Every structure is written in structure tokens, then in C-alpha cells.
Amino acid sequence: MNKSQLALLLLLFVTPGSSAQTAPANTLVLTVDAAAPSHPFPHFWEHMFGSGRAILSLRESYRDDLRSVKKITDLQYVRFHAIFHDEAGVYDEDAQGNSVYNFSYVDQIYDGLLQNGVRPFIELSFMPNKLAAKEIHQAFWYKPNISPPKDWKRWDELIQQFVRHLVDRYGIDEVAQWYFEVWNEPNLDFWAGEPKQQTYWDLYDHTVAAVKRVNARLRVGGPATAQAAWVDAFIQHCVQNHIPVDFVSTHVYANDPAQEVFGVDEDVPRDQFVCRAVKKVHDQIATSSHPDLPLIWSEFNASYKNEPAITDSVYMGPWLADTIRRCDGLVNEMSYWTFSDVFEEQGVVRQPFYGGFGLIAAGGIPKPSYAAFEVLHLLGNQRIALNSDSALVTWRPDGSLVLATWNLVPPDQNGTSKIVTIRFMHSGKLLHAVISRVDSDHGDFHTTYRKMGSPRNPTQVQIQQVRRAVELGPPEVRELSKGGLTLTLPADGLAVIEVK
């Protein structure tokens, strides 16, 4: 049986009005009803990205990667750690012990973001060494000080001086569009206060009061926790003590311990983990005294480890698409960690592909995750109901239907190709489909990089060769046949189909 005969046979399984039909295991049969109910579909996954620490943003390689990601996404905000690290020079003390402030690097950091059309999502961290109560450093290569302040009044003044400088430099109408997040993951080893939760409440209370003293319009939130922790207690603390809070933020990674995140000894699949945590926090907010608080997921990824078989692989395409499908309606913004491998938490990068978090590897080489963001950007802003766990369909303002479909295979399994047959109903005169793909043959560096011997220190010529190889190039254009379309998705393949 050839593919045309198989496509005809598969269409016989489809009952008009249904969204999906049972078919053999290696097939997916979809009916897309353009008249089905729809809802707004803001691109919550591509407005905000994380990056390393603040000082890295002064590098040209960082800014090159920022511009590259800005071209293919609706990037609006960037978050990074350690704006108060000593290397940024914000806080010092003179010989008499008086506080001294210097915003020279701060200005260069934020000017650089704004000049590239991106606003800061400011994580207020970590402790300047001379303001710290103790010398307690987290294990990152750049050794951030995680101590509480030695003097809360000096911390308050640092926050006020910092925020007032920003307002004076950029204007309140601009800075009111930024976010101020208090600290990073205080429930882990990024906060040395004891007991952790109560001393974090002290930190948050002091910080939000200092920011609001500069201007009440400024947006402040927390608790910026790892593993989706503390949110219910944080909201309760703010309500009971009349503490301002403008948004809730927290983090999770798809390989976090389920016991820590959900309180269960359960093997939660990697493709379900993030959105299950998002729903947990969404529901905590919805049942709280502040049910309308925005939820900003200020870090997420498929792994918090350096796993090349995950974050450097084509697996990220279907994983990201399915995460978008599952998290839609549960969160205001999600910040992918990170947009670039200009990143030094474990030290200076030693080779281009080591399982880094970024969309772009050292040398400015895009990974499959970059290609996935590029094609998913094509989705529309209205999502149409579709009963499928491996597809979603949207309308674009220009009247195009845009469908994403994928073949997600768990990392520990060997997958096979999947034949996808799509039938369109109530869609008018749809004439042709434009198909953009991400898979081992589209947007993946592995084949080219291996052919050149996987050099640890590729030359500029080799870097350019890999860059050219991962360019997606022109999409495939197909005429629709009898109102339908059939295509094959390899294991961990992602396709975005614009139907016009």
C-alpha cells in the first residue's frame, strides 16, 4: 500500500464533527473544525526568557544571542541573577563605614536590554559582601553571597537608592512596565536565613516596602521559589500582614523530585511534570484571598541538569509544544531558562554542546530548541478546541489556520515515525499548507557536527558550517487534497502547518 492509499484509508476512520479518531498506534487522525469554540491564546511561553547573571549581559556574545532570539520570538523581558553581586559594583562602603552606591554598570546593563527592545524582569539578588551578615556563598562558580543583610536599614536604603535611580534614569512610565522579583529560590541553597521561610518573609516585607516608597506603581512579587513551593503560605503571609504583592513567581523543572513538588512518591512523566506543577500553583492562587494575582513562572525547562540528550536534542521541540498545550490557561507568563549558553554557573563553558540550558550554544550556534521556538511563534492568537494530546490548532489574525502537531517520545525509549492525517471542516476555501519542521533533519546540529569530528573547540569556519546546516530554510508548500493533508513525523518531530 502506498502513502496515497494509506491516507485515503485513514480518512475513512474520521467521523465528521469529531476531533480525533482511534487509529493504529503509529498513526494520528485529526479533524480540525474551524467552527469549533475558541479562546484567546496569548503567546505566554515566548515573552520572557532567563539568562545567567547580570554582568554577562555586557558581553557582545550575550547581546548577539539576545538579538537572535528577539528575531524569532515575541521576546519582551529578560531575567537574570545577581544584579547586586560585587562584580556589578553597586554597593560599597567607605573608610568610615558609610554606604556608597555606583550604578555605572547597572546603567550599561539595562541600557543594553532596552536598546535591543527588551525590558528587565529584575531579580533583586544577591547580597553585596560588605552588606552581608556573614560570608556565606552559594556553590555557583561566581560565588554569590546568600546571607541576610547585617543591617536591615542599609538593605532598605540600597533598594530605595537602586530603584529611585532607575526611575530617575528611565522615567516612571517605563519602569512601571518592569517587574521586581524578590530574590531567587530562597527555599534552596540560595538563601542562608534561618529559619528559611520566616526570614524570607522578612526580606520580602522590607524589599517591597522600599520599592513602593519610591513609587506605588512599581510591580513587586515573589516568592521566586524552586519546586513550586511556598506560594500558598506566601499569599497567606501577605494577606494577614497587609503586605503588597503584585504577582506570584515560582519555578519548576521537569526532572525535579516529585516528592518535593507534589508530596508524592510517583514517577511523573517529564512531559507532564511542568504543567502539573503550574496547575498546582494556579489552583492555590485561585482558592486564595487574592485569586486574581498574576502567575509568572520565572524559570522552567525540561531539565535542571546538564543533559545533552534532553536540552541539546530534538526532544525539546515536541516537549515544548506539549508543555504549551497543557499549560494554556493556567499561567500568565512562562520564562524559559535560558535563551543563551553565555552562562557560567558551573564555570567557563568548555565545549559548545554540553547540555546547557540555552537555545543558542557557544559560538552562536542555534540548537533544536531555538528552532522549536521559531516555528511555534507562527501559531495564532486564538486557540480552537481540538481533542488531541499531540496537536493544537489556532487562528491567526490574517485568517490562516495554524496547526502544531508532534511525535513526542520519552527520552529513555526508542520511537518510530508517526503518520498524521488531518481533515479540515468549516474552513472555507483552504488551498495549500505551508509546513515548517523541527527534527533530526531540520534545525538539528548533530549530523553536521559529528561529521566534522565533534570538535571541542570548533574553528570559525566550522562554526559557520554548523550555523548554515541548522537554518530551517524555506518551508514545504503543499496543495490540499480533498480537504485534507497527510504527513509523516519522525520520532521527536514537530511540525507547524499554516493552512491558507
**Catalytic (active-site) positions:** 185, 299
Nearest 5°: the CA angle 382, 383, 384 is 120
DSSP string, 313-350: STTHHHHHHHHHHHHTTT-SEEEES-S-S---TTSS--
Q: How far apart are CA 242 and CA 284, in angstroms?
A: 19
Q: Is 382 helix (H, G, I), strand (E, B) or coil?
A: strand
Residue with cell 494520528: 28
Q: How far apart are CA 233 and CA 222, in angstroms?
A: 11
- Cβ atoms of 247 and 219 within 8 Å: the answer is yes
**For residue 32, what are the CA distances in angstroms to 7, 110, 167, 377, 382?**
16, 45, 49, 20, 14
Which of 15, 13, 8, 39 is closest to 24 using CA atoms?
Answer: 13
- Cβ atoms of 268 and 276 within 8 Å: the answer is yes
Q: How far apart are CA 372 and CA 304, in angstroms?
A: 19
Q: Is 85 helix (H, G, I), strand (E, B) or coil?
A: coil
The residue type at 375: V
Residue with cell 502567575: 295
Distance of CA 98 to the CA centre of its chain: 40
Q: How far apart are CA 326 and CA 275, in angstroms?
A: 6
Which of 489, 375, 477, 486 is closest to 441 using CA atoms?
Answer: 489
Q: How far apart are CA 183 and CA 38, in angstroms?
A: 38
Q: How far apart are CA 389 and CA 386, in angstroms?
A: 9
Q: What are phi and psi of 181, to 5 degrees?
A: -110, 130
Pairing label, strands 418-425, 484-489: antiparallel
H-helix or E-strand containing 153? helix 152-170
Cβ contacts of residue 474 below 8 Å, gap of 6+? Answer: none
Residue with cell 497567606: 236
Question: What length is written for the chain?
Answer: 500
The residue type at 481: S
- Cβ atoms of 443 and 368 within 8 Å: the answer is yes
Q: What is the DSSP letter of 14?
A: P
How is residue 75 written as a grid cell? 521576546
Strand partners, 366: 360
